[in-house]
Amino acid sequence: MAVLPSLATVADLATRLNRTFTPQQEAQVQALLDDASSTVRAFTRQDLTRATTTDTFTMRRADPVLHQCAGIVTLPQRPVVDIDTVTIDGSTSSDWWQDGQDLLLRSWSWGQPPAVHRAPQVTVTYTHGWDPIPREITAIVLQAVNRVLVNPSQVRSETVGGESVTYLIPTTGEALGVLLSRTEEKVLKKYRGPGAASLQVRSR
């Protein structure tokens, strides 16, 4: 599996902080950007970066009246930009259409026993994700990295000049690395996807 790029760059952080990093600092910042990007991707269950993926899914039966098709596959990565090819049980099909995240297959024989007990496997090559990455996602990654830079010892609170500052690190003292705040998680919720779990056939 290809390594996904970070959701923000060293140059983005340098611009935001109005500072220049040494080569050693750049390496540290890049590692933190990678960590923060992984944290955001784990929370959203999305790659986010524009990419083309080939994956295989289990077709689920559709309501012929509601959907007017034989089967449905829900593509997990958002947004779906384009669907290139669709193959059902090894046979290429063009008898489908897209409705948001759903791939609707107009017709397909579910077979006779024992094949009827096996749901068709649908292999889809599709393009998904954002290009460019939404600015609010980039901002969250930069904020998360900056918190680590200004608080490398991961102190929860300190008093400077009579002013108390509280950080995101739990009172247990456990070092958790790059974290997301509750506000950032709230912003990211709209980007969350269903993940890549297998779709089960519904009984009729």
Encode the chain (204 residues) as per-residue pLDDT tens digits: 578 999 999 999 999 999 999 999 999 999 999 999 999 999 999 999 999 999 999 999 887 767 778 899 999 999 999 999 999 999 999 999 999 999 999 877 665 565 566 788 999 999 999 999 999 999 999 999 999 998 765 555 666 666 665 554 444 444 457 889 999 999 999 999 874 333 322 222
Please state at what angle helix 135-150 crosses helix 23-44, rounded to 10 degrees.
Answer: 130
The dihedral region occupied by 41, where left means phi > 0, alpha psi between -120 and 50, and beta the remainder, is alpha
| Residue with the two structure tokens 């958790």 | 176
Q: Which residues contact 196 (CB under 8 A, 6 or more apart)?
A: 45, 55, 76
> Residue 85 and residue 53: Cα distance in Å, rounded?
11
For the question of whether the overall pTM of this predicted structure is more than 0.85, the answer is no
Phi then psi for residue 122, to 5 deg, are -115, 120
> Residue 71 and residue 186: Cα distance in Å, rounded?
34
Going by C-alpha positions, the residue among 75, 74, 8, 76 that lies closest to residue 40 is: 8
Domain locations along the chain: 10-47+132-153+165-191, 51-128
Residue type, 9: T
